[in-house]
Structure 1
Amino acid sequence: MTPELAGGFFAALLIGILVGIEREKKRPAGPADTIGGIRTHALLALAGATSAWLGQALQLPWLLVVVIAAVAAMTVTRHVLWRHDGRDAAPSMTSQIAAVLVVLLGGLAATGHQALAVALAVTLSAVLAFKQPLHALVQRLGLDDILAGLKLLIASVIVLPLLPNETMDPWQALNPYQLWLMVVLILALSLAGYVGMRWLGPARGAAITGLAGGLVSSTATTLNFARDSRRAGPAANSSAITAGILCAWLVMFLRVMTIVAVLNPPLLAALWLPLVVMSVVSGALALRHYLAGAAAASTATASTAPLKNPFSLGAAIRFGALFAVVLVIVKLAQQQFPAGGLIAVSALAGAADVDAIVLSLSGRSAGAMRTVSTAWTAWAVLAALLANTVVKIAMVMLTARGDVRRSMGLASVAICSIGAAAAWAWL
């Protein structure tokens, strides 16, 4: 016996034991409504491993199929006998399917795919063990939630891979894949924010959505929250929504600081104080609104309007179209401005995408743009950040409703003015 063969049979035995423990713990004290426990499933896995190995050794590929058919026939017979035995209900088909899968996984482990077999066995055990939470999740889902999830899957899994990942316009600005990726991002953030607020409450859900969304796109996250406040109307938790937006802005500042630190440490020496100041102001304001949102949620009355799924494909497509227009304008401006207009070009580019211009400025300052001082490059990065903030607050003012506009207006003035003052004093 080779070590590989022994390892395969040992993995098959572990698979049977793993699934068998879960099945035995689920079996009630009375008449069993599951197919066996730890011993039965260990034997099933070894039967699958033995038949698969013998099938390979004796050139009998049908041997494993016969064993699987025999196990399936026994489970079906037990199911039928249970029904004719005067029981209230037959055992769940889950037990029968799990027994057949254990045989298959045992055969998979014995044929040299131990890692895959064990991983699938762990997945099978998790699905079996989390029966109640999974059923509770399905019960909480509405038809709108299911349709929204299907639309997101269609947009991301079917439509996105079909789009060309290259620029298609005369200005070399519009990439269909990237534009649709932005649409998918808006849809995903909308759905994630809804799920977070529904499961964790308005304050915690909005904060977590803002932090996660800020890692990808603070602009898209801001727009998503602004739309939420408009849709919810008077019932919106304005403090929680404001906290979510500010969390996304905080992550943006930290992300820019990280990019500069990795690509160009000398540039970070000129930028760290303004970036830290804007991060601290954003974080402090986010914490203040988070606490206010949590307090408002705890005192909300039962008459508050129920939370509805905000998923909107049309709104996401409209944002993608607007983003495309901004990209074209930025590209034209970059082509027309002379090299001396670094700050103006950076501001225009930052209005569309902060990461792209920060990556460009960090790399160029370290290498190609040696004629531009570090201080001017730092001002260009700050101009991109401030322009992006102005665009986002404009989105809030045009889209949001209620106290969100007032709170975010004051917050943006504080962040921009304090950050600009810190930059002026430092640079």
Structure 2
Amino acid sequence: MNLEVARHFLVALFIGALVGVEREQRRSSEPERVLGGVRTHILLALVGATSAWLARELASAWVFAIALAAVSAVVVAGYVRRGRDPADQAPGLTSEIAAMAVVLLGAMVVVGDAALGVALAVAVSAVLAFKQPLHVLVAKIGTEDLLAAIKLMCMSFIVLPLLPRTPVDPWNAVNLYQLWLLVILTSALSLVGYLAMRWLGSSRGTAITGLAGGLVSSTATTLSFARASRSAEASPAGNREATGILLSWLVMFLRVLVLVAVVNPSLLQAVWIPLTAMGAATGAFALAHYLLCTRTAAADAGSLAVRNPFQLGEALRFGLLFAVILLLIRLAQIHLPQSGFYVVSALAGSADVDAITLSLAHDGHTQVQTAQAATALCVALLSNTVVKTATVLLYGRGRVRHHTLVAAGTVMLVGVATLLMLA
């Protein structure tokens, strides 16, 4: 199988799915104006890609022209049928387009890549077989979720290619292309966490809320649970709120490990031990409180509101903050090679862990820089833990403050001890 050709077909299927999801949502509210849903558009994209591939292999543009004319005829026929029968407001074209796809895939198998043709035929069968699951999945996607995904793709496929790939400042600290690429990575992780929260629902329990909320923002989740401890429905022993808080912290440690692994694997070798140790301590406390709260009452986190984290304005502000942090770290390396560097990391970590993590991972490539970046990253995480603990002490009520303080103190001791052992 030609992997490059397969990649092109996958991109075509993705394009069909992207447009199809939007059409499927619009179809539910305006059936009289929409022709075809997610399955139809996936098959349309496959017909277009297959006919174009055959036209190239056969050196004849007529193959694509005929396929385009056939699709146009089917679409026109659908509109005509709808006009004759007003009750038929949403004519389906899936079967017709699937028949065209089968014809083209059969030609593809004979003319060229048989393995890819069979694989695409399996994909067609899956699209036809999983009608109900696909419709249910699309129904779970809200308009806000779809708009957020489209914004993310605009950032990835429209803005990113236009940015220069060389540093734009005298200190060679800010590369707009790499900067925006890391902003996209962080936004994508946040969007995944938000969608998990939306689809799974916070009413399913503290564990789901804490885990999904930690992907969105561990600081925001900590604040939500701290405020929840002040309500009348709060857990008297504070175990439920402590479970959610600590699980979001655990996800934060895992998230940092993923970011470092993607951006700078060499830095991962220097930080995985202290980060894993702190994450293990956090997870142990979270498990203990979860077991305690399940013994006393059902773990129900309530409706902790976590808004969609993907806002274009916030993405731009994050990019600006990221650029400032990159510049400050570079200047600290030049003028204050030791103490100033860690001060910047502590201050940046208290505000945003992702930005300082990506900054350090992006900048720490030499052996000396790697050791320094590893220590600075742990300093930033400890600083962030202090801020979140202070948030619970300030906004929380009852036993949750004691539970959080004990867990945070242990986590910080483990982190410091691990750093000293590795120094």
TM-score bin (small chain)? 0.5 to 0.7
Write out per-residue CA displacement over residues 75-125 of structure 1, whole angstroms, 9 at most, x where no aligned residue.
99899899999x989973110110011111111222212233223222222
Task: Tell me if structure 1 keeps the 8 A contact 2:74–2:96.
Answer: no
Task: Tell me if structure 1 keeps the 8 A contact 2:260–2:267.
Answer: no
What residue identity is the alignment partner of 2:330?
Answer: K
Structure 1 residues not aligned, in runs of 5+: 1-44, 214-220, 370-376
* 1:397-416 superposed matches below 5 A: 402-403=395-396, 411-416=407-412
How far is 1:140 from its partner? 2.6
Question: Could you tell which deviates more after superposition, 382-391 or 304-313?
Answer: 304-313
Task: Tell me if structure 2 keeps the 8 A contact 1:187–1:313.
Answer: no
Question: Could you tell which deviates more after superposition, 107-116 or 348-357?
Answer: 348-357
Call closer, same or farther: CA 1:305–1:178 in 2, change over 3 Å.
same
Q: Which residue of 1 aligns with 2:312?
A: 313
Write out per-residue CA displacement over residues 278-317 of structure 1, whole angstroms, 9 at most, x where no aligned residue.
3431332343466679899955498x47765343222232
Task: Tell me if structure 1 keeps the 8 A contact 2:82–2:90.
Answer: yes
Alignment counterpart, residue 364 of structure 1, candidates 346, 367, 371: 367
Q: What is the distance in 2 between the residues matched to 1:398 and 1:315?
A: 24
Q: Which residue of 1 aligns with 2:97?
A: 97
Q: Which residue of 2 aligns with 1:326?
A: 325
How far is 1:225 from its partner? 3.1
Q: Which residue of 1 aligns with 2:235?
A: none
Alignment counterpart, residue 384 of structure 1, candidates 372, 376, 379: 376
How far is 1:233 from its partner? 8.5
Task: Tell me if structure 2 keeps the 8 A contact 1:106–1:117.
Answer: yes
Q: Which residue of 1 aligns with 2:414?
A: 418
Alignment counterpart, residue 207 of structure 1, candidates 202, 211, 215: 211
Call closer, same or farther: CA 1:307–1:101 in 2, change over 3 Å.
same
Q: What is the distance in 2 between the residues matched to 1:416 and 1:189?
A: 26
* 1:217-236 superposed matches below 5 A: 224-227=217-220, 234=227
Call closer, same or farther: CA 1:381–1:178 in 2, change over 3 Å.
closer
Q: What is the distance in 1 between the residues matched to 2:422 and 2:332?
A: 29
Q: What is the distance in 1 between the residues matched to 2:156 and 2:414?
A: 40
Q: Which residue of 2 aligns with 1:248?
A: 252
Relative to the length of structure 1, the TM-score reads 0.60
Question: Could you tell which deviates more after superposition, 306-315 or 151-160?
Answer: 306-315
Q: What is the distance in 1 between the residues matched to 2:248 and 2:289?
A: 9
How far is 1:392 from its partner? 2.8
Structure 2 residues not aligned, in runs of 5+: 1-46, 230-239, 350-354
What residue identity is the alignment partner of 1:332?
Answer: L
How far is 1:330 from its partner? 0.9
Q: What is the distance in 1 between the residues matched to 2:293 and 2:195?
A: 17
Call closer, same or farther: CA 1:252–1:115 in 2, change over 3 Å.
same
Call closer, same or farther: CA 1:327–1:423 in 2, change over 3 Å.
closer
Task: Tell me if structure 2 keeps the 8 A contact 1:285–1:411.
Answer: yes
* 1:266-277 superposed matches below 5 A: 277=277
How far is 1:133 from its partner? 1.5
Q: What is the distance in 1 between the residues matched to 2:410 and 2:418?
A: 12
Call closer, same or farther: CA 1:354–1:300 in 2, change over 3 Å.
closer
How far is 1:388 from its partner? 1.9
Q: What is the distance in 1 between the residues matched to 2:328 and 2:78?
A: 70
What residue identity is the alignment partner of 2:249?
Answer: I
How far is 1:148 from its partner? 1.7
Tell me if 1:335 matches 2:334: yes
Q: What is the distance in 1 between the residues matched to 2:223 and 2:254?
A: 23
Call closer, same or farther: CA 1:174–1:78 in 2, change over 3 Å.
closer
How far is 1:240 from its partner? 2.7
Write out per-residue CA displacement over residues 139-190 of structure 1, whole angstroms, 9 at most, x where no aligned residue.
2333222222222221222112221222111121111123223332343233
* 1:10-409 superposed matches below 5 A: 62=62, 92-202=92-202, 203-204=207-208, 206-207=210-211, 210=214, 224-227=217-220, 234=227, 238=241, 239-250=243-254, 252=256, 277-288=277-288, 298-300=298-300, 304=303, 308-337=307-336, 341=338, 345=341, 348=344, 353-354=356-357, 364=367, 380=372, 383-393=375-385, 396=388, 402-403=395-396
What residue identity is the alignment partner of 1:386?
Answer: C
Q: What is the distance in 2 between the residues matched to 1:354 and 1:306?
A: 26
Q: Secondary structure at the match of 2:415?
A: helix
Call closer, same or farther: CA 1:314–1:95 in 2, change over 3 Å.
same
What residue identity is the alignment partner of 1:138?
Answer: V
Task: Tell me if structure 1 keeps the 8 A contact 2:194–2:212.
Answer: no
How far is 1:243 from its partner? 0.8
Call closer, same or farther: CA 1:77–1:296 in 2, change over 3 Å.
farther
Identical-residue share of aligned pairs (%): 37
Call closer, same or farther: CA 1:83–1:396 in 2, change over 3 Å.
same
Write out per-residue CA displacement over residues 298-357 of structure 1, whole angstroms, 9 at most, x where no aligned residue.
55498x47765343222232222222212111101111135xx3x764675686645775
How far is 1:229 from its partner? 5.5
Question: Could you tell which deviates more after superposition, 139-148 or 385-394?
Answer: 385-394
Q: What is the distance in 1 between the residues matched to 2:145 and 2:344?
A: 38
Q: What is the distance in 2 between the residues matched to 1:180 and 1:323?
A: 10
Write out per-residue CA displacement over residues 375-400 of structure 1, whole angstroms, 9 at most, x where no aligned residue.
xx96x566324312134336647989
How far is 1:417 from its partner? 1.7
Task: Tell me if structure 2 keeps the 8 A contact 1:250–1:282.
Answer: no
- Give me the CA root mean square deviation: 5.1
Q: What is the distance in 2 between the residues matched to 1:252 and 1:73?
A: 53
Call closer, same or farther: CA 1:311–1:258 in 2, change over 3 Å.
closer
Q: What is the distance in 2 between the residues matched to 1:296 and 1:95?
A: 55
Q: What is the distance in 2 between the residues matched to 1:395 and 1:313?
A: 26
Q: What is the distance in 1 between the residues matched to 2:300 and 2:396?
A: 16
Call closer, same or farther: CA 1:402–1:355 in 2, change over 3 Å.
same
Q: What is the distance in 2 between the residues matched to 1:147 and 1:258?
A: 26
